[in-house]
């Protein structure tokens, strides 16, 4: 009987230890917040939210995890706090409801390093944050934080640098060859590594407009050309074409324009062209993201602009005409 009791005790102890090792515990404390609710979700299941009840400014949370997890704490004002958890971690969050951006996360090396990164770079521009993120990744290639920073500041960035993405990804994958998240990005990285860059040649193209006019790459040799990809369902389309048209009216003979729509319905494309007074060549094969032009130009979003020189080499690429393209046109063509 004693031996049986001893077995039960050992088994209970082992189970308790195993549960403790896989359990992740979170404690939070916020000044100037007596009660309320926060919501918690993970990168792996963004559709599932856990509710955190706040009483007297405090909350607790516990979950069993058997792998590293990136969590996002959603505040009532819809801003977020990102933190990281590994099996066995005991994480503490401390902040002030009147200044949520200054919230600190402690209890693990990853969270303390990310808190320092976040607080130290929150007032910097996106370009400056990219530089800081790249430096962090190079110094900490085995960190969960580096994977998150790579995703946020490079994979999801509006202005992507293919060579930087490829180099940083190689460093991360070398340091974490079995990481499922990194391995899941391989196809995406391959695509981004082939994005067009400044000084690349304009891709070859040839198509017929609805009036049977043939438009081809060779037509623009010796000319400056603005190519823009757009779609009627993009909310910025009308204002974008307004700015392009007004700028072109100032300098009517300085550069050509070619617009390519990713619409699937002809009437939608036509309505925009009419309402926006588009007088230059505008084309669509009505295949949207399946268009060969999307593949050839490596388009990842709309709007997307290419400013091209007389040698058919790309001078500028961007997603905003006013900030990314117009200043380059003015400088290149010496326009006032």
Pairing assessment for the beta strands 225-230 and 304-308 based on DSSP bridges: antiparallel
Predicted pLDDT of residue 3: 55
- Could you give the 3-state DSSP secondary structure of residue 88? coil
Q: Tell me, what's the pLDDT at 215?
A: 97
Model confidence pLDDT, tens digit, residues 153-199: 998 876 667 778 889 999 999 999 999 999 999 988 888 778 898 99
The vertex-207 CA angle with 205 and 212, nearest 5°, equals 155
Q: How far apart are CA 237 and CA 258, in angstroms?
A: 15
User: What per-residue confidence (pLDDT) applies to 206?
Assistant: 97
The answer to whether residues 69 and 42 touch, using CB atoms and an 8 Å cutoff, is yes
Backbone angles phi, psi at 22, to 5 degrees: -95, -5
pLDDT tens, residue by residue, 243-302 = 999 999 999 999 999 999 999 999 999 999 999 999 999 999 999 999 999 999 998 889
Torsion of CA 139, 142, 147, 150, to 10 degrees: 30
Q: What is the mean pLDDT of the chain?
A: 91
End-to-end Cα distance, the chain: 96
Q: What percent of the chain has pLDDT over 90?
A: 78
Average of per-residue pLDDT across 228-243? 94
Q: How far is it, in rounded angstroms, from Cα 224 to Cα 333?
A: 9
pLDDT score recorded for residue 5: 53
| Angstrom distance (rounded) from CA 160 to CA 134 | 13
pLDDT > 70? residue 14? no
In this prediction, residue 45 carries a pLDDT of 80
CA distance 260 to 184: 32
Other beta carbons within 10 Å of 159: 13
3-state secondary structure of 160: coil
Reported pTM: 0.65
Distance CA 235, CA 59 (A): 40
Q: Judging by beta carbons within 10 Å of its beta carbon (0-12, 13-18, 19+), is residue 28 exposed, middle or buried?
A: buried
The structure tokens listed for 261 are 């729509």
Give burial (CB, 10 Å; 0-12/13-18/19+) of 42. middle
Q: Do 231 and 262 touch, CB atoms closer than 8 A?
A: yes
Q: Which residue has the tokens 């790309």?
A: 314
Chain segment 73-110, per-residue pLDDT in tens: 999 888 999 999 999 999 999 999 999 999 999 999 99
Does residue 218 have a pLDDT over 70? yes
The string of DSSP letters for 294-329 reads HHHHT--SSSEEEEE-TTSBEEEEES-IIIIIHHHH
pLDDT computed for residue 194 by the predictor:
81
Range name among 38-42, 126-130, 160-164 with the lowest pLDDT average: 160-164
């Amino acid at each position: 009987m004693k031996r049986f009791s001893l077995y039960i005790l050992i088994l209970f102890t082992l189970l308790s230890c195993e549960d403790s090792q896989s359990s992740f515990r979170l404690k939070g404390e916020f000044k100037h917040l007596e009660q309320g609710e926060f919501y918690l979700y993970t990168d792996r299941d963004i559709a599932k939210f856990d509710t955190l009840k706040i009483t007297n400014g405090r909350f607790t949370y516990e979950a069993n995890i058997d792998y590293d997890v990136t969590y996002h704490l959603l505040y009532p004002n819809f801003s977020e706090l990102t933190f990281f958890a590994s099996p066995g971690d005991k994480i503490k969050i401390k902040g002030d409801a009147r200044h949520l951006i200054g919230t600190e996360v402690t209890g693990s090396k990853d969270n303390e390093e990310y808190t320092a990164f976040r607080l130290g770079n929150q007032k910097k521009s996106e370009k400056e944050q990219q530089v800081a993120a790249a430096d962090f990744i190079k110094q900490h290639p085995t960190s969960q934080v580096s994977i998150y920073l790579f995703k946020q500041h490079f994979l999801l960035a509006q202005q992507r640098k293919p060579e930087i993405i490829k180099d940083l990804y190689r460093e991360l994958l070398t340091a974490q060859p079995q990481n499922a998240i990194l391995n899941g990005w391989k196809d995406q990285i391959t695509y981004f590594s082939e994005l067009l860059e400044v000084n690349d040649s304009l891709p070859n193209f040839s198509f017929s407009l609805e009036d049977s006019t043939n438009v081809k790459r060779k037509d623009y040799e010796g000319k400056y050309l603005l190519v823009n990809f757009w779609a009627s369902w993009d909310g910025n389309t009308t204002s974008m074409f307004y700015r392009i048209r007004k700028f072109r009216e100032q300098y009517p003979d300085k550069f050509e324009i070619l617009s390519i729509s990713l619409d699937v319905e002809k009437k939608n494309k036509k309505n925009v062209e009419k309402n926006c007074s588009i007088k230059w060549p505008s084309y669509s094969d009505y295949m949207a993201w399946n268009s060969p032009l999307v593949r050839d130009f490596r388009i990842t979003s709309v709007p997307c602009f290419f400013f091209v020189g007389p040698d058919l080499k790309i001078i500028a690429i961007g997603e905003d005409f006013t900030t990314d393209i117009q200043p380059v046109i003015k400088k290149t063509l010496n326009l006032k």
